[in-house]
């Protein structure tokens, strides 16, 4: 059986969670990378039978705007999907609600929703090393429950369609209207050690770094996703340490308690 993974994961935490969940399903998975600006997302049409996993990180309690813009172009054609939001142990606020709305707008049927924790991609002192062993076990159990629901609904087939019952008979946390999106004003720059290899420019999801001038990033385009920081082979790309420390202090209380993964289905 075929499956899809539609993922926005600039630094790999979201992908880790998505792989832990979808790895439990017996599916031949095709991946759609929402961080890749060269993809023609408008040409992607998911087949109705494909169980689709849609995973994004939470940025300020919202779906990253760039991920939403690209995802919106994909056609869901009534395929069943599992929506996943991954966050750095502060809060995910309206991310799952927004992702649910986006998935339905694209024509997917949401059968389950997961909120999971991964290491904070800016402030690595929060959720360090997550998803860890305990998370792996929990996500495995979630995946088993979701698979069971998917199979049950598959077997209802036609009858289900005729009854036109809503599959998503659960409510995910979050509010409408969503909270105001507040961009993180942290634009990484290259410091000593940059050899101008250009990997950061090639891998930037937002095309914010010019190959001719790799040290800087276009502040209007940069989404502070930290992809350039993690891909720099010289470890030369950094954010302003004082600004990061100030934000870290602001969210310290919210991040100090270990949050649990959540399943809605
Ligand atoms: C710009 C930005 C905003 C973020 N906002 C939040 C947030 O509001 N709450 C939270 O708990 N984590 C937040 N995080 C942490 C990420 O959601 C988390 O680290 C996620 O795993 C990153 O995904 P990735 O590793 O796939 O890039 C933010 C990270 C970035 C880069």
pLDDT, tens digit (0-9, with 9 covering 90-100), for 108-134:
999 999 999 999 999 999 999 999 999
Task: Give per-residue pLDDT as tens, 55-79.
Answer: 999 999 999 999 999 999 999 999 9
Q: Dump strand ranges (E) for the chain.
A: 2-7, 28-33, 51-57, 80-87, 109-117, 189-190, 237-238, 262-264
Domain encompassing residue 247? 189-254
Domain boundary among 119, 144, 177: 177
Are residue 159 and residue 208 in the same domain, yes or no?
A: no
Boundary-marking domain end, from 115, 150, 177: 177
Paired with 83 in beta bridges are 54, 113
Among 145, 177, 209, the domain-final residue is: 177
Report CA(18)–ligand 1 centroid distance (Å): 15
* Rounded distance from Cα 68 to ligand 1 centre (Å): 15
Q: What is the pLDDT of residues 40-55, one digit of tens each?
A: 999 999 999 999 999 9
Number of helices (H) and strands (E), helices first, in the chain?
7, 8
Residue 58 lies in a domain: yes
Q: In this structure, are 169 and 193 located in the same domain?
A: no
Q: Is the ipTM of this complex over 0.85?
A: yes
> What is the CATH classification number for the domain harbouring 149?
3.40.50.360
Of 87, 98, 127, 203, the residue with max ligand 1 atoms within 8 A of its CB, to mutate for a pocket test, comes to: 87
Residues of the chain with pLDDT under 70: 157-168
- Predicted confidence at residue 63, as pLDDT, reads 98
Beta carbon of 206 within 6 Å of any ligand 1 atom: no
Is the same domain home to 171 and 215? Answer: no
Ligand 1 and 12: CB distance under 6 A: yes
Number of domain units in the chain: 2
pLDDT of amino acid 162: 54
Distance 180 CA to ligand 1 centre (A): 16
Whole-number pLDDT of residue 161: 59
Q: Residue 42 has what pLDDT?
A: 98
Q: Give the separation between CA 141 and CA 38, rounded to whole angstroms.
A: 36
As a whole number of Å, the CA-based R_g of the chain is 19
């Amino acid at each position: 059986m075929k499956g899809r993974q539609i993922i926005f994961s600039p630094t790999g935490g979201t992908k880790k969670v998505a792989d832990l969940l979808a790895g439990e399903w017996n599916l031949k998975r095709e991946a759609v990378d929402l961080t890749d600006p060269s993809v023609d997302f408008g040409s992607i049409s998911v087949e109705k039978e494909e169980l689709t996993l849609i995973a994004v990180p939470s940025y300020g309690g919202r779906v990253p705007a760039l991920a939403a813009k690209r995802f919106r172009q994909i056609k869901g054609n009534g395929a069943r999907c599992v929506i996943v939001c991954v966050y750095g142990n502060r809060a995910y606020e309206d991310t799952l609600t927004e992702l649910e709305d986006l998935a339905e707008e694209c024509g997917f049927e949401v059968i389950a929703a997961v909120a999971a924790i991964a290491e904070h991609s800016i402030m690595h002192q929060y959720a360090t090393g997550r998803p860890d062993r305990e998370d792996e076990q929990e996500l495995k159990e979630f995946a088993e429950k979701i698979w069971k629901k998917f199979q049950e609904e598959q077997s209802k087939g036609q009858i289900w369609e005729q009854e036109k019952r809503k599959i998503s008979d659960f409510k995910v946390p979050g509010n409408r209207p969503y909270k105001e999106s507040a961009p993180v004003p942290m634009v990484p720059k290259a410091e000593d050690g940059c050899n101008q290899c250009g990997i950061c420019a090639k891998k930037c999801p937002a095309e914010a770094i010019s190959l001719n001038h790799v040290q800087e990033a276009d502040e209007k385009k940069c989404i502070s996703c930290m992809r350039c920081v993690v891909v720099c082979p010289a470890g030369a790309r950094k954010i302003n340490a004082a600004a990061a420390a100030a934000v870290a202090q602001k969210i310290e209380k919210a991040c100090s308690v270990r949050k649990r993964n959540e399943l809605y289905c």
